[in-house]
Amino acid sequence: MLKMVPKLKFTESGNFFLIAGPCVVENEEMPLEIASVVKKITDRLEIPYIFKASYRKANRSKISSFIGIGDVKALIAIKRVGDTLGIPTLTDIHTAEEAAMAAQYVDVLQIPAFLCRQTDLLIAAARTGKVINIKKGQFLSPEAMEFAVEKIINAGNDRIMLTERGTTFGYGDLIVDFRGIPVMQQMGVPVVLDVTHSLQQPNQSIGVTGGRPEMIETMARAGIAVGADGLFIETHPNPAVAKSDGANMLKLDLMEDLMERLVKIREAIK
């Protein structure tokens, strides 16, 4: 199934695949700097790697929060990663009108969890012919994602991934029901565990999402153990100064040791 992603290496390695990068493009240099580090790690360990970065953050709590450096400038920075390193790239889209624009720059279009039932958005994304990664809404059961998959397929595109990213637990926390991973795999698509967003603590009174980054390895280990096809991990050289989601990102220099341990778990369960 992973062969549907252009330029994806090591699809026969038997490893999980990794979607990783910063939450948002903060400047024109950062995407390539981060991707270069992760690519060296994944090449050595034969982990299929898709670089991710949002070109714009449309769902911020506060009006003063960082949104982006400009859509086209950010998309060009993401495309530069793919062209320079020869790896597939992914970004989010938020409206139907954005689908065709973003598709000119990336290999995978991602549907944010809050928008996973937006029919016009799903159909517009599908019609680009790109691989579509749909994040499961925090408000939906895994079984309900069947209908999102159906919308993409009915629009003529069967290149689909689904991502588990936690379910709302009270007002300020998320919880992952790992039963959802095999449930969504029964829909015939690869299923990803979004490790870092599953550790968010949303709706904080200060208007900035919190998180539990100390639990990243615990969550990732569990995802591999239950058979997730891929992991989604946002990473940054210094999460403390990141302009979005710093509270739950993995520090970049921790990525290599984590991947080494996860590869061993993957090998053990094969």
Residues in the chain: 270
What's the domain count of the chain?
Answer: 1
Cα–Cα distance measured from residue 37 to residue 256, given in angstroms and rounded to the nearest whole number: 9
Contacts within 8 Å (CB) and 24+ apart, 248-253 = 248/196, 248/197, 248/199, 248/200, 248/209, 248/210, 248/211, 248/212, 248/213, 248/216, 249/22, 249/23, 249/196, 249/211, 249/213, 250/195, 250/196, 250/213, 250/216, 251/213, 252/34, 252/37, 252/38
CB 41 within 8 A of CB 256: yes
In what helix (H) or strand (E) does residue 263 lie, and over which residues does it extend? helix 255-269
Question: What average pLDDT does the segment 109-113 reach?
Answer: 97
Q: Is 231 left (phi over 0), alpha (psi -120 to 50) or beta?
A: beta
Query: Does residue 67 carry a pLDDT above 90?
Result: no
pLDDT value for 259: 98
Report the mean per-residue pLDDT for the chain: 92
pLDDT of residue 169: 87
- What average pLDDT score do residues 26-38 get? 97
Residue at token pair 């998180």: 211
In percent, how much of the chain has pLDDT > 90? Answer: 80
| Cα dist from 184 to 86, 143, 162, whole Å | 30, 7, 7
- Which range of residues forms the domain containing residue 181? 2-269
Residue 60 binned pLDDT confidence (cut-offs 50, 70, 90): low
Strands 167-168 vs 174-175: parallel, antiparallel or unpaired: antiparallel
Instruction: Answer yes or no: are the C-beta atoms of 199 and 248 closer than 8 Å.
Output: yes
pLDDT recorded at residue 210: 62
Give the CATH number of the domain where residue 188 resides. 3.20.20.70
Q: Each residue of 123-180: pLDDT tens digit?
A: 999 999 999 999 999 999 999 999 999 999 999 999 999 999 999 888 878 899 999 9
For residue 58, the model assigns a pLDDT of 74
Assess contact for 159 and 181: CB atoms under 8 A. Answer: no
- Per-residue model confidence (pLDDT) at position 153: 98
Q: What is the pTM of this model?
A: 0.94
Is the pLDDT at 206 greater than 60? The verdict is no
Would you state the pLDDT for residue 203?
56
What stretch of H or E contains 17? strand 17-21
pLDDT higher at 210 or 107: 107
What angle in degrees, to the nearest 10, is found between the helix axes of 96-103 and 119-127? 20
Distance CA 167, CA 47 (A): 28
pLDDT grade for 200, boundaries at 50, 70 and 90:
confident
Given pLDDT bands bounded at 50, 70 and 90, which one contains residue 64? low
